[in-house]
Amino acid sequence: MKNIAVIFGKQLSDTIRNKTILIQFLMFPVLVIIMENAVKIEDMPEHFFAKLFAVMFVGMAPLTCMSAIISEEKEKNTLRVLLMSNVKPGEYLIGTGAYVFVMCAVGMAVFAAVGGYGGMELVRFIAVMSAGIILSELTGAVIGLFSRNQMTATSISVPIMMVIAFLPMLSMFNDTIKSVARVTYSQQISELISDIRNSPASAESIAVIAVNFALAVILFITAYRKKGLE
Amino acid sequence: MSSSITARGISISFGGRTVLNGIDLDIQSGEIFGLLGPSGAGKTTLIKILTGQLEQDSGTAVINGTDSRRLSGEERRRFGITMDNFGIYERLSCYENLKVIAGIYGVGKAEIYAALEKVGLADAAKTPAGRLSKGMTVRLKLARAFMSDPDILFLDEPTSGLDPVSAGEIRGMILAEKERGKTVFLTTHTMTEAEKLCGSIALLNEGKIVEYGAPEEICRRYDHQRMLKIHLTDGNEIALPHNRNSADKIAELIGSGRAETIHTTEPDLETVFMEITGKELSA
């Protein structure tokens, strides 16, 4: 637990000064405040931007941050120093994952406030967003484990992130894309957030998210066994 | 004195290429041991094996009585390592860099400042590590290794690429650690450094130890390399082998008044290494 706290604190001090990472945490929360207040179009669904950007945020920030942090530590050999100093790989991954989650939770709070959620809706919103953040973190960690350096991590994470983050938006305009997007957790998260006021979570959404989660865990274990943290 | 580090028959290969082949070592507690060899000789690989970062194909390495493959967290804490490929957090200050490791080892603020003071970085405590010069970066890495007050220090080419002043200061720090009773395992390809610092050395070439012992002992074994250097009155210098065959030539030079000074030159580690391997140590 002590080492997890040290890793959490280190990531906080380090990446808070890393503009590339910081922008990932801030971009959509700032954008949603601006867009919700600046753009008012007739017949636009209520809190359209809050719902849209929340899904993009979930698809982008945790994924890119996890992969960037892990790959940078591998590239610069700071991870080797931590592992030689008795930090277990699991402690490192939990500490880093917890840090990314907390930073994303701050963004989530902004979306909740802008979206005007309260009571059970807020509980559902937090649950849905948290599931998405964890799934994206796992995906990001897999990319980080497979990448030797930041450049490789970026070249892998950008297309994956684009698919996860933008598919729900594109599916609004095209039914074929929508039918493909249904198998992704981001599409289900988008649908759950859209319907958060009207109905409980659909069985399909829960099933797709569960399958995505299982796949991410299997991928993560495979990547870890194959590559470790070295 | 007891052995801090013992290696018996350490061998390792990568992709069919033998990197270390049957390495035997006995490093006494409280001594500075130097592992010398050209780049690619296997020095860093040996440090990785001794510190448990890498597992050998065969042989055993024992550190403070424990097999290097089974070092516990507490045992690892008893040695400090600086390697060229050990990174620093460039965005964090020197103090924050040490604080990360201090948090893991349960070392307090006072020890962090003491370590910075020891390596002469107290004034740079708040400077981001990315803005440090190469010499200061080495000092920061040394501070990180010194901080938990380890029994054994593994220093992988700590003066490599440094200017003579910085290198001299780092050597001073290493000697100070020896004075405090620490065992130092030093790798270098600078023979003068080894001669100045080390109680015993091993010359490593293509994964094999080709000579082992005290530097002066090793040089004495190659006494036939001793030369006589004669400085002539015309400004030229000639070198003759240190044996009877040179006597007539020297007598002639003295008799003709052409010899100004005569010196004997002992073989140094560079010469010894050249004789054994046909290669330069600093290659």
Chain A residues with CB within 8 Å of chain B CB = 2-3, 5-6, 9-10, 13-14, 17-18, 73, 76-78, 80-82, 84-87
Tell me which chain A residues have a C-beta less than 8 angstroms from the C-beta of B96.
13
Whether residue B222 is contained in a domain is answered as: no
B152: CB partners within 8 A, 6+ apart = B4, B5, B63, B64, B78, B79, B80, B182, B183, B184, B185
What is the C-alpha to C-alpha distance for residues B185 and B50, in angstroms, rounded to an integer?
10
Q: How many CA atoms lie within 13 A of A36 on its CB side?
A: 22
Instruction: Look up residue A96 and give its two tokens.
Output: 């880093």
The answer to whether A6 contacts B100, with C-beta atoms less than 8 Å apart, is: yes
Partners of residue B105 in chain A, C-beta under 8 Å:
85-86
Q: Is residue B123 part of a domain?
A: yes
B102-131 residues touching A, CB cutoff 8 A: 103-106
Q: Closest partner residue to B104 among A77, A80, A85, by Cβ?
A: A85
Shared-domain flag, residues B110 and B47: no
Q: Are residues B18 and B119 in the same domain?
A: no
A80 contacts in B (CB within 8 Å)?
53, 85-87
**Is B58 in the same domain as B160?**
yes
The residue ranges of chain A whose pLDDT is under 50 are none
Spatial contact of B4 and B26, defined as CB atoms under 8 Å apart = no
> Residue B90's closest chain A neighbor by CA?
A14
User: For an interface test with A, which of B53, B63, B94, B104 has the most A Cβ atoms less than 10 Å from its Cβ?
Assistant: B104
B73 confidence band (pLDDT: 50, 70, 90):
confident
CA distance A142 to A20: 20
pLDDT of A1? 84
- Give a yes or no: residue B221 inside a domain: no
Asked if the structure places residue B12 within a domain, the reply is yes
CB atoms within 10 A of CB B169: 18
Does residue B275 have a pLDDT over 70? yes
Which band of pLDDT confidence, cut at 50, 70 and 90, is reported for residue B281? low
Structural domain boundaries, residue B144: 87-149
Q: Are residues B156 and B94 in the same domain?
A: no
* B236 and B275 inside one domain: no
Q: pLDDT tens-digit profile of B117-128?
A: 988 888 988 999
For chain B, give the mean pLDDT. Answer: 86
Q: Give yes or no: residues B196 and B103 share one domain.
A: no
Handedness of CA A195, A201, A204, A208 (dihedral sign): positive
Is the same domain home to B74 and B44?
yes
Res A4: pLDDT: 94
Calculate mean pLDDT across residues B27-42: 88
Q: How many domains does chain B have?
A: 3
For residue B7, give the amino acid letter.
Answer: A
Tell if the CB–CB gap between B81 and A9 is shorter than 8 Å.
Answer: no
pLDDT(B283) > 60: no
Beta strands in chain B (DSSP E): 3-14, 17-28, 32-36, 58-63, 66-67, 79-82, 152-156, 183-188, 200-205, 208-213, 227-232, 237-241, 259-265
3-state secondary structure chain A: CHHHHHHHHHHHHHHCCCHHHHHHHHHHHHHHHHHHHHCCCCCCCCCHHHHHHHHHHHHHHHHHHHHHHHHHHHHCCHHHHHHHCCCCHHHHHHHHHHHHHHHHHHHHHHHHHHHCCCHHHHHHHHHHHHHHHHHHHHHHHHHHHHCCCHHHHHHHHHHHHHHHHHHHHHCCCCHHHHHHHCCCHHHHHHHHHHCCCCCCCCHHHHHHHHHHHHHHHHHHHHHHHHHCCC
Residue B220 domain-assigned (yes or no):
no
Residues B126 and B181 in one domain: no
Q: How far is B48 from chain A (nearest CA, A)?
A: 10
CATH number at residue B43: 3.40.50.300
Nearest CA in chain B to A15: B91
- Which of B88, B103, B105 is closest, CB to CB, to A9? B103
Do both B109 and B248 map to the same domain?
Answer: no
Neighboring chain A residues of B100 at a CB cutoff of 8 Å: 6, 9-10, 82
Quick check: B103 and A80 CB within 8 A? no
Q: Looking at the structure, do residues B155 and B53 belong to the same domain, yes or no? A: yes
Q: Choose among B253, B229, B258, B251: nearest CA to B241.
A: B229
Are both B34 and B23 inside the same structural domain? yes
CB B98 within 8 A of CB B59: no
In contact, B3 and B152? CB cutoff 8 Å: no
Cβ-based contacts of B90 with chain A (< 8 Å): 76
- The pLDDT value given to residue A131: 93
User: For B220-265, what is each residue's pLDDT tens digit?
Assistant: 887 766 778 888 888 888 888 777 777 888 888 888 888 888 887 7
B182, B29 Cβ separation under 8 angstroms = no
* B130 and B160 housed in the same domain: no
pLDDT, one tens digit per residue, over B1-34 is 566 899 999 999 998 889 999 999 999 889 999 9
